[in-house]
Chains A and B, each alone.
Chain A
């Protein structure tokens, strides 16, 4: 026929086909819209996760780079030694705009610097220096301990003293003549002008020290063999902030004695112009540098790869062609950000995948429910003899069109939602963009959605016209559906087993198990399939019991649920949605809990005050006086050394003040009890101007040369100055020895020890002989009067000896000590007012070194090395982390034999601390320098990349709940027409509407109730086994074990909300269904 020929007919056919498709979609508007909504959700969820992740990644990247120092994030370029710098500089200046990846960098800062030496024209005295040559201080007690235990003391701490260094006129000063771009904007000119021409500006300190004046000159030498060059002084400046970003963490203001062995004194930089440097200094002595600060916000996660490759290429090319070395710490920062992003991607990936799976299952559910509506079309196609492929096309055209249309709409919705959320979650300027990866994810979700919709629509393809009356329906149990169910159950079991066996990733992302992403879905599907198979059997078993019961609703409901296979999918759906909600809520709450705990543990207490202590103030005593109740303020001292950190706190207040998580393993009260030693002798305190000791010595002769020396060591606890009191040469027989207390001990000094020192020469004479000392009395001279010291000499248990071969004994009310002389040395006996080893609570890391006292070597408060005795091991310690020990401050102070040298002196405050505590501390000589709060730490960590990722868990839980309610409403609505006919028939035989309504509700209760139970169970199991595999922190930082217990209260609230929603939906839906079940329906036709 002619009319079928030609292009116009082909076009007409296409138009008719399209019109039929649109008409069909409109005809089935409700189901079409439901499917469209779910498809939009699936595609949108897949895209949203990645859009969200992209924004979170950008935020992490921006913050990482913004927080970094310029010297780390920026690009620094300098010529290789031996190459002519100025020639390169000219080339670089012209090449930067085009040759370098300049759009990531701000305006370059050029620096030209030449070191010089200057000799002042008059003798001066160097004022107080910031850093003086270190004095090594090894306290006697520590030395004795080290000798006793056969260990070497740890690296001695550096005592920083502030000496006056007299300049004798022969030691030169060293400094740098510096030209730096825009330098005058960063220093304060107090006299004269900024440098111009070959004029220089010097610092006030330089000027004062060297006697320089405006208009004068500074004579400098750049080369030993060269003549001095006069630099005209045109200005005097005050040094700026040496740590301001402009200076790139390089100290241009290092005035003071040098740390080097030369002993030269450093000057602040002398600034001039670039021409000034080049005119004054020989070219080969000019150190040249170009610094390109990172331009904040210029780098996006999409351009990281480009930046890395361009910078690498630039560095390679510059090195090869210009002998210029480019360096940056940016790659390390990018790696750090990448680690966070990787962890966040894992977290987002898990929940996003779950959401997509849920969406696809609902899509399948909707498609299978709506396939009945399209079935007549398919049957008609078969009737009209459509070829098989065309019949399939009739069945799938609408689902494919719906899902295909939904994918771009899903992108749009995802973008809109992300844009709406971004300002609140990421900040006002957070970028939100649909990345290629997000598009790919959405398309994949769409394709899988089409497959799911097709699978759901297969119902209309099976059976068909050839199905004979009475033959099993297409929904009959087929071998492949059993096989599919078995496969799901096996996969779920395998995944569960795998996660249980190897799912623990700890705190870091390294051990992330990809199965964690599928765990909730797999478990929910596996358990759901089992429940769906089991529930009908159980209900069938109850048929006999309910058959003649008085509850027709129960009778009808059990039979309906047992008979209708459509409830299987609904049960699976409910299981999956509730499992996802359970998993999401658990994941978010657990992550938040661990994050908060880690943040607060990092601070140590609700509020931590970093303080300075006024000289003459006893810190511990001052804090106790500020809080006499002991309920809200605790003194804490942190001593950091290379090998570890010692945290000494007022242990009695630990429980009341410190944030001590339960999962540290040992309760705070127990820790406090173990840290405070018992049965110690009281400290022996002496005061006044002199000390005398009566000693009966025997076992050696007077012919010893040199004679042994008796001395005492005392320690002023207020001024923290130790004193060595020489009491005289020891002689056989009973004698009284007297020495002067130079420290004068106005408030009392603690007696550290009594010691007798033999020279090796003397001990050779008496070698092998046993020497005995009996201390009969100890007196102090106060205001010219001698008084007995309460030294506990009558009880040898109140004293101890620090020499292994020595023995203490009670000698008729006096303290006796005997020992064998070997090769010289010192016999020291000391009051037993400190335990042999410092009781510490250690961490596994810090507990690795052995002290000989079942504990580690620890650093004392004066920098000495002390033997520790471990009284408990915890994974991490509040405020100081995992490579540290905790001890009692009072006990640790007992070991002090030198000045307290602490990195940090802190006052920890409980939440209940009143505001007046600061004033009270001030009144007691403790000044607050800085305040840190646990809340701020939590806030800071709460805006990290991972927290943003975990926020998606809540979104997923809410989305799952909404989807579930929507799907339940749709299930009731889509079945309404058929159910109404059935129910009308039941009404016709006399069953009341109330009973029918109840029957529908019981049906839904059986299905949804089982689904909710299975969902909660599988979600909870998934949370327990899978969350271990999801990183809680981006970096494997030390801390207490992660608390992965299920949050029962939050879960109950979430599941309760879902249950209430379900009950309301079912109540409403069942009423609508039953209201439409009128007997008159039975008399109506098919339309």
Chain B
């Protein structure tokens, strides 16, 4: 913490630690999405949200879902959170197939196993309450489901270096600091999967970086699997793995800056936008197997 968190316009900075992953937490949980299709009912008609998403997230992994608005990032996150159920496909968190769970069971998962930070700071906090009270409230879901929160709010704040925020009412904080509290509230019940929808939107760059640093620290301290949705490539670049969602499908999967196209379960590959400039839709391509892989050749331009 570099300065007063409650009043700082630019928000707090979170010191990045070098602790081993999962030193204090319950560790992460893997997530698997296989052939996930989702339809929205809008104005009496079905609208395709996801067209068959295949995605594997390892336990304790940090992942950013990148993509423009309306491509289905939030839908993927909501399906992972169990807030919605997929129209088709498999959404598995750990050993739980969310499609097979009832609403109450999915709610119970959110009380302990899954932390979900929705878009917009105010939707994740009680502005009239202090940080500790917010964390207590965040843990209360676990209590109502008969679980015991893994740590008291003060302990968690101390773990993440935010103990100075404990008794401050959120309404008195800057938005950036509020978002930090929102993130901490997301892991207050000790989840093994943390889902954050645009956690840096409407924040200054510095505040956004602080949020990302906090997520990193959570990942490091607690070993929590973290999936973040963002439309900001800069923010996304701060995550070790970035999955791009385009048109309801996984468009690309970049690991440590290296971007890969992804072959889905049906064998489809979504080409990067620049490739699409060369291969217009409905263009016939020749698939050529080579020693190092497969080439798509334009039949009229190549050998």
Contact = CB atoms under 8 A, between A and B. Distances in A.
Contacts of B121: 1086-1087
A26 interface: yes
A978 B78 CA distance: 27
A470 B133 contact: no
A3 interface: yes
Interface in A353-389: 376-377, 379-389
Nearest to A1085: B202
B144 A1 contact: no
A1086 B201 CA distance: 12
B289 interface: no
A16 interface: yes
Contacts of A381: 137, 140-141
Nearest to B107: A385
Given A4-B149, A380-B123, A385-B142, A468 B84 contact: yes
A376 B123 CA distance: 6
B148 A19 contact: no
Interface in A378-406: 379-390
Among B43, B107, B136, chain A packs the most CB atoms within 10 A around the CB of B107
A23 interface: yes
Contact of A385 (B112, B136, B171): B112
A1066 to B, nearest CB: 31
A27 B141 contact: no
Contact of A469 (B40, B111, B128): B40
Interface in A1068-1087: 1085-1087
Given A16-B133, A20-B133, A383-B116, A468 B41 contact: yes
A501 interface: no
Interface string B116-150: 10101111111111000100111111111100111
Nearest to B45: A470
A1048 interface: no
Nearest to B119: A1086
B231 interface: no
Contact of A470 (B42, B103, B107, B116): B42
Contacts of A16: 133, 136
Contacts of A466: 83-84, 103
Contacts of A1: 148-151
11 contacts: A19-B133, A26-B128, A384-B110, A384-B111, A385-B109, A385-B112, A386-B141, A386-B144, A387-B104, A389-B144, A1087-B122
A503 B129 CA distance: 57
Nearest to A5: B148
A1054 B122 CA distance: 46
B153 to A, nearest CB: 9
Given A26-B128, A1085-B202, A384 B137 contact: yes
A390 B190 CA distance: 20
A384 B113 CA distance: 10
B86 to A, nearest CB: 12
B124 A385 contact: no
A380 B133 contact: no
A465 interface: yes
A471 interface: yes
Contacts of B83: 465-466
B37 interface: no
Contacts of B152: 3
Contact of A380 (B41, B109, B112, B137): B137
**Chain B contact residues (Cβ within 8 angstroms of A): what range?**
35 or more
Contacts of B127: 27, 1087
B144 A390 contact: yes
Interface string B81-108: 0011000000000000000000110011
Contacts of B241: none
A352 B42 CA distance: 48
A382 B150 contact: no
Interface in A443-468: 465-466, 468
A25 to B, nearest CB: 9
B175 interface: yes
A386 B140 contact: yes
B250 interface: no
B140 A384 contact: yes
Interface string A17-41: 0011001101100000000000000
Nearest to A16: B136
Given A384-B141, A385-B142, A470-B43, 5 more contacts: A26-B128, A383-B118, A386-B144, A1086-B121, A1086-B122
B142 to A, nearest CB: 7
B140 to A, nearest CB: 7
Given A379-B123, A380-B123, A387 B84 contact: no
B133 A27 contact: no
A379 B124 CA distance: 9
Given A3-B152, A386-B111, A1086-B122, A468 B104 contact: no
B248 to A, nearest CB: 14
A398 to B, nearest CB: 11
Contacts of B139: 384
Contacts of A23: 126, 128-129, 133, 169
Interface in A1036-1087: 1085-1087
Contacts of A13: 136, 143
Contacts of A1087: 121-122, 127, 175
Q: Which 9 A-B pairs have the closest CB atoms?
A: A385-B111, A27-B128, A470-B42, A385-B110, A384-B141, A385-B141, A390-B144, A387-B144, A23-B128
Nearest to B111: A385
B189 interface: yes
A376 B103 CA distance: 20
Nearest to B42: A470
A838 to B, nearest CB: 88
Contacts of B116: 383
A382 B139 CA distance: 12
Nearest to B126: A377
B198 to A, nearest CB: 12
Contact of B145 (A19, A26, A382, A385): A385
B107 A1085 contact: no
Contacts of B136: 13, 16, 20
A372 to B, nearest CB: 13
A989 to B, nearest CB: 23
A385 B128 contact: no
A599 B125 CA distance: 69
Interface string B200-211: 001000000000
Contact of A1085 (B40, B47, B133, B175): B175
B137 A20 contact: yes
Contacts of A386: 107, 111, 140-141, 144
Contacts of A385: 107-112, 141-142, 144-145, 189
A23 B118 CA distance: 23
Nearest to A4: B148
Central interface residue in A13, A19, A383, by most chain B CB within 10 Å: A383
B294 to A, nearest CB: 38
B126 A380 contact: yes
Contacts of B111: 384-386
Interface in A466-509: 466, 468-471
Nearest to A389: B144
A390 B143 CA distance: 10
Interface string A636-679: 00000000000000000000000000000000000000000000
A24 B128 contact: yes
A21 to B, nearest CB: 10
Contact of A388 (B104, B129, B138): B104
A469 B108 CA distance: 23
Nearest to A23: B128
From B41, B129, B144, name the one whose CB has the most chain A CB atoms within 10 angstroms: B144
Nearest to B136: A16
Contacts of B125: 380
Contacts of A24: 126, 128-129
Contact of B42 (A4, A377, A469): A469
Contacts of A1086: 120-122, 202
